[in-house]
Each structure stands twice: as structure tokens, then as C-alpha cells.
Structure 1
Amino acid sequence: MSVTPLTKPTHRPENPRFSSGPCTKRKGWSLDVLKGALLGRNHRQADTLARIAESLSLTRTLLELPDDYRVALVPASDTGAVEMALWSLLGQRGVDVLAWEAFSADWVTDIVDELKLSDVRALEAPYGELPDLTTVDFTRDVVFAWNGTTSGVRVPDGNWIPDSREGLTICDGTSAVFAQDMDWRKLDVTTYSWQKALGGEAQHGMLILSPRAVERLETYTPPWPIPKVFRLMQNGKFLESLFEGVTINTPSMLCLEDYMDALSFVESIGGLKGAIARADANAAAIADWVARTPWVDFLARDPKTRSNTSVCLKVVDPAIPVDIHADFAKRMAKRLAGEGVAFDIASYRSAPPGLRIWTGTTVERADVEALMPWLDWAFQSEKEALAAAV
């Protein structure tokens, strides 16, 4: 195997943080933005309650939510928000759950093995593809991720969801909200976490409910006990206070202040449209490079379903044996981390081998563009090392 060495690039990304979660902070972020945090204060007294309520109001405004939708701060990140929805809402009718990567597959496990629902259809697809959306039955409840974080595959839009449907749509939107155009009227429950598109701190989740979801809560009681951190009802009444700033358990006001800074950043870049445009531009920079680079391709097969946040790539050079792709990609990622130009870009542990590069709203396009020559260098360097070992 003969390999021509490639000169190491000299221009480095200013910010090498391309992790898919927690994701990078905005450019210019510093600890100074936390100075106004209401620390050491009870989270249900007037000042802190008002600050939480302000964050919910600003979230509503920036996401352009319908006026009759509700938004709340809940425990345990996006996972907690999804679990809250599953435990509180499912069981009234059959469920279709879409799974095409690691996290969406987790919801199949929870619905079947933990909630032990019997009338469940798992509509599955391999990494790189979507299930056949035309087979989804909306007389049933439907659980799905808008963006597959570990596969780089997203639903193309909300057109496959009918306006008139009998079941609820429960959407894990954590890699999509604030970076992709969510069709809110098609979504009855949407969840996300601060540490994805906004680069906020972890462990806090956001829950968005439509009036249809609230109606289900008020008219249906699941047959299983619901843990305190999942409860949206109390004494048979909907907990409206959760959507006014009262939280189920104690939130971090330090993390909340960081979230407020992230929301201010979104305001400064033109709101939701500006946030989406930044993610689109970042992903386009990688797409331009992939188009001219023969050794790499997207894991997502269809350009219409490629993520603009969690971009997943695979090595396709025939000179690299398939059985060493996993080790080869890990070595590339390790080499780039060692150079300080890209941290945490190996593919997710249960995903096909390759690279995963976060290109969400808080990433600068200039950094993505600066990374591309380094990917070429890392590939060529590992290929050279492989040739020398043969």
C-alpha cells in the first residue's frame, strides 16, 4: 500500500469543541455571564420564581410557540422530559415508536420492557436511514426523535404528520430545537435539553405541551404508579404551576443563568431563523468538503434527511479494510484531539464506526472550515501508518 504523506495544516480551529453533547458554548462566553445568578436562594420565592418564569417566557417567544402551548422546566435533562411524557401519557391507546439510532431505540425499550405496553409497533430502520413514515398510524400515539443524534438522520419536515390525528405525537427534539424548523402544530409533546443546540449546562430538561396533550392528562390516568419527578397531575388536577415557573424539584439557578445567556445569544443572532441559519451554514461547510473528498461520505443516505447539527461521517476508502474501520476512525479522532484541533468527534459507542461532528448554533462556521483540512491530514496520516505496518 503506497501512500503519499500530506502536509500538516497550519491553520487551526479557534474553538476545537465539536462534541455532540454537552455542546460548545457560544463564542465569547465566560464565567462573567453567571454573576447575576440567584445563588443560595429558595427556588420558590419571588425573585427566583420570576427568573424561572422569565426563562420560560423567553423560550416561548424565541421558539415561536403557539399561544396555547405550554413550556416547563423539568428534571433530568431531555431524558427526564421524555420519560415524564411516556409515563404520564401512554397507555390509553396503541403506540407506534420510531427507532433508527441509539436514543430512539431506548424509547422502544422503555415502552415495551418498563411500561410493559402490549400494543406497540416498533417501526425501525438501520443507521443512516429513516423508517417508512407512510406506515405510521396516527390513530395511535406516536413516539419519535426529530433528529437522530447518533446517526445524523432527521425527519425531513412535519408534512408526514396529519393535522387531524387521534393519537398524540411525542417528539424527542433535543438535537433539533433551536437548530431546525419544528412544525409545532404537528407536535403534541416536545422535549429538549439546554446542553445541545444552545451549549447550556446539563441535567435540566424542557417540556412543551399542546392543548391535546393537556387534555389527555386531564382525562386519562395511567394504570401504573408515577414517580414524583414525572408527575404532571396532583390530586386529579393538571399542575399548571409547572408551566409558570414552579419546578418539581430544586433547579440549579447557576445553570438557569447560563440558559438565559444562551437565549440572549439566540436573540442577538436574529432569533430562531438566525439560529437555524447558523446550523445550516455549518453543515453546508462539511457537505461541500464531502463532495470533493473521495475517502469520506455521510452516514445518512438521503440528503433530505441529513442532520444540520450532529453530522455523522463514515470512511469509504476501499484501501481501508472494513473490519478495522472502528479502530481506524478512533485513531483519527484521537490524533485530532492530541493536536488540540477537535475534541470528542468519534462516533457514538453503539453507532457504526466513523466520525460525528457537532455543527449546531453555537459553532462558528470558520471553525468547521478550518477543521476540514485536519480531517484530511488525520485520514492520510492513519492510512500512512497502516501502510507502514503491512
Structure 2
Amino acid sequence: MTVTDIRIPDEIKPVDGRFGSGPSKVRPEGVEALSAVSRTFMGTSHRQKTVKNQVARMRRGLAEFFSLPDGYEVILSNGGTSAFWDTAAFGLVRDRAQFAEFGEFGAKFVKAVVDAPFLSSPTVHQAPGGQAAFLTAEAGVDVYASVHNETSTGVAVPVRRVAGADEGALLLTDATSGGGSLDVDLRETDVYYLAPQKALGSDGGIWLALMSPAALDRAFSIKSSGRYIPQFLDLVTAIEQSRLEQTYNTPALATVFLAAEQLDWMNAQGGLSWAVKRSAESAAAIYGWADRSSFATPFVTDPALRSAAVATIDFEGVDAAAIAATLRANDIVDTEPYRKLGRNQLRIALYPTVDPADVAALTTCIDYVVERLA
């Protein structure tokens, strides 16, 4: 039987078949709310209250959701996480950085710092895919950087400050895909940056950062030192504009609105604790199924490192690409693995937008497909 011949019965399919790790599932209710304001919000000036009020709503939602500590601020700007890595290289690393790199996304921040001619060579602690690397105290390091959830591999580590670090050293945490699905105490980090198109169930185009007073001070200190910083990557500009409920350039208006809608929804459900519990239920469904399966196993072998934001599942004796293609032909989409990892696996988003019941239904569909492919 070929991929296109297999029709999954409607009664066992997920209610919503979107499992992408980013862009992620956008709740229909959010799209409906955006449609309702399409003539008064979309296509209007981002310098006016119509848009600035939505930026403010999003910032307030993030502050409430993450229980923002005193003195921390919600900062945003255009360009996504890729732009933030360069922004941090210019505006937060004074001279030396140390990285914990254990996947493709952590490696991209490393490259941004390595390529910066005005910074010293960083220290990089590396681990192969499916494992984790950790930071260690090192004299002279002024920025430590790690990943809360490695989107490419499905490895998650706790957010903790580096014991014994030099006084004034900052910790930067990449929460691109972990923020909103994994528990965090923001007092344990100085910058917790995330993307709206993951757990926030929005679209892409901006970066969001929850910054401590020390991180805010560092940005202004570096700017005043005379370092050349491109305007688009100027963190001080992003801070000042965020305080005005706007961005330097026109932001993606739909992204701002959808993120604000999602945050209102999650806060109404119970905030971060609710979201963490919901993602954990989805994780239990997918990993429990894989542990019981004769042909599927969790790629991350250490249960303590298995992410509740993104699950990666290896397959043996069956072509995962054929499974993904069959699922896609049946309107169950974006289960393909991270392309550069090059493994025979599926990658499943477990964000709060995804119903745990749909994850359980997905496992039933995979079993159905595998039986017929065999």
C-alpha cells in the first residue's frame, strides 16, 4: 500500500491536526478575533493608540504570565530570534561569553558571537544531539548563554544561574520554543527571550525578551561606550521604543494581536502553571506511547532531559518520512523532523495550544499508518 492509498478514519484523527514546532498551531478563536478588528487594526499606524494598545496588552500579558519580577521589563523588536542573537552580540556581550551548545539553535548564537570582530573568542561547552551541555563558572566571562528547550532535538534543561560566576555576569536563556511550555523562575536568569510563533500560538516576525535590571543596565553601558551598533540591532533603541509600546520599525501587526490574544487566553486558564501542566500531559501521551511501542523510541534517552515543549521520536524498521507524508495526506501536518538532524524520526510540538487529546489521537494514527505501511 502506498502513502497516498492510506486513508485514516476520521473517528480516530485529532480534532486539529497541526503539530508544527514553529510556526505552531494558531487557535481559530485568535484568528476570528483578528478578523473582527481587521478594519480598525490591520493596516493602521503603529505609532497610534490602535496598535500601541495591543503592544501594551501583549507586554502586560507576558508580565502576568511569567510573574515578572520587580525591575524586569518586557522588551520587543523586529526580526525574530535570529535578529536577537545579533542584537545580544552587539548589545549585551561586553567581551567574553560562554555557551552551552547542544543543538542547532544554540549553535546559531555561538556563531553570532564568534563572527563578531569586537568580541573575544567564547568558551563553548558542547554535547551531541539528544544530550545536554551545561555552563560552568569561568573567570572573565561576562555573559553566559544556554537554551531552555533545544527545538531541533527536544532536549530541555532547567534555568539556573551559574554558581561562582563573576559578579555582574549575565545569564541569557534562549526560550524560543521553551517559553510558555516549561516552568521557569525568571529570577534565575537575566534575559529570557522567546518567539511568538511557538508556545504563544502566534505568527513570526518579532522577538520578545524579559530582561532584568542588570541586563537593561548592561545594554545602556555598552551603548554609551561608543561601540558601533547597527540601528536595527540596537538594543537600547528596542528598550526605549518598548517603553513607548511600539517598535522602531513597523511590527507584524497580526503577530502582535495574536500573541496578545493567546496570552489573555492562557492567563485566563491559569497562566504558566496551567500551560506547563497541559504541555506535560501531552508529553506523557507521546513519550508513554513511544516507550510502549515496538518500533518507536524517544530520541532523548534520559527522561530528565525530555522536553515537554517539543518531542522527538526515533523509528526503527519503518520509514518515518513515509509516516509523515501519510499523515500530511490525511491533514495531520508538520510532524517532520528537524532537517539538519538527519534522523529517522518525527518531531511533535507539545505547546499549550495543542490539546493533549489530539496528541493521544496522533499516536493512534501513527500506529494505524505503520500497520498498513508494513
- Counterpart check, 1:373 vs 2:364: yes
- Shifted more, 372-381 versus 171-180: the winner is 372-381
Equivalent of residue 65 in structure 2, options 62, 68, 75: 62
Distance 2:22 2:196 in 1: 10
The two structures have a TM-score, normalised by structure 2, of 0.89
- Name the counterpart of 1:186: 188
- Shifted more, 146-155 versus 64-73: the winner is 64-73
CA gap 1:362/1:19 in 2 versus in 1, 3 angstroms = same
3-state SS, counterpart of residue 350 of structure 1: helix
Pairwise CA distance, 1:369: 0.8
Pairwise CA distance, 1:160: 5.7
Pairwise CA distance, 1:28: 4.4
- Name the counterpart of 2:3: none
- Counterpart check, 1:81 vs 2:71: no
The one-letter amino acid paired with 1:44 is R
- Structure 1 stretches of 4+ with a deviation exceeding 4 A read 6-10, 221-224
Equivalent of residue 96 in structure 2, options 94, 97, 100: 94
- Name the counterpart of 2:55: 52
- Name the counterpart of 2:349: 358
| Contact preservation (8 Å) 2:203, 2:254 | no
| Contact preservation (8 Å) 1:163, 1:185 | no
3-state SS, counterpart of residue 220 of structure 1: helix
Equivalent of residue 203 in structure 2, options 168, 187, 201: 201
- Name the counterpart of 2:22: 21
Pairwise CA distance, 1:7: 11
Deviations 1:27-72 (A, max 9, x none): 6444344423523332112343233223212211121111210112
Unaligned runs of 5+ in 1: 1-5, 385-390
Distance 2:369 2:117 in 1: 46
Pairwise CA distance, 1:165: 4.8
CA gap 1:138/1:257 in 2 versus in 1, 3 angstroms = farther
| Contact preservation (8 Å) 2:31, 2:258 | no
Unaligned runs of 5+ in 2: 1-5
| Contact preservation (8 Å) 1:34, 1:254 | no
Pairwise CA distance, 1:339: 2.1
Structure 2 counterparts to residues 99-178 of structure 1, below 5 A: 99-115=101-117, 117-131=119-133, 133=134, 135-137=136-138, 140=141, 141-155=143-157, 157-159=158-160, 161-162=162-163, 165-166=166-167, 167-178=169-180
3-state SS, counterpart of residue 233 of structure 1: helix
3-state SS, counterpart of residue 14 of structure 1: coil
Pairwise CA distance, 1:136: 4.9
- Name the counterpart of 2:45: 42
Distance 1:356 1:52 in 2: 32
Distance 1:115 1:274 in 2: 44
The one-letter amino acid paired with 2:25 is T
Distance 1:232 1:29 in 2: 30
| Contact preservation (8 Å) 1:72, 1:244 | no
Distance 2:364 2:305 in 1: 26
Deviations 1:272-296 (A, max 9, x none): 1111111111111112212211211
The one-letter amino acid paired with 2:65 is L
User: Percent sequence identity over matched residues?
Assistant: 27
| Contact preservation (8 Å) 1:163, 1:186 | no
Distance 2:8 2:46 in 1: 52
Distance 1:217 1:32 in 2: 36
- Name the counterpart of 1:243: 243
Distance 2:337 2:86 in 1: 25
Distance 2:139 2:305 in 1: 21
Pairwise CA distance, 1:189: 1.3
Pairwise CA distance, 1:219: 2.3
| Contact preservation (8 Å) 1:26, 1:363 | no
CA gap 1:378/1:22 in 2 versus in 1, 3 angstroms = same
- Name the counterpart of 2:310: 310
| Contact preservation (8 Å) 1:345, 1:355 | yes
The one-letter amino acid paired with 1:336 is L
CA gap 1:23/1:134 in 2 versus in 1, 3 angstroms = closer
Structure 2 counterparts to residues 184-333 of structure 1, below 5 A: 184-221=186-223, 225-233=228-236, 239-315=239-315, 317=316, 320=317, 328-333=319-324
- Shifted more, 225-234 versus 266-275: the winner is 225-234
Distance 2:118 2:306 in 1: 33
- Shifted more, 283-292 versus 50-59: the winner is 50-59
Pairwise CA distance, 1:161: 3.1
3-state SS, counterpart of residue 338 of structure 2: coil
| Contact preservation (8 Å) 1:161, 1:186 | no
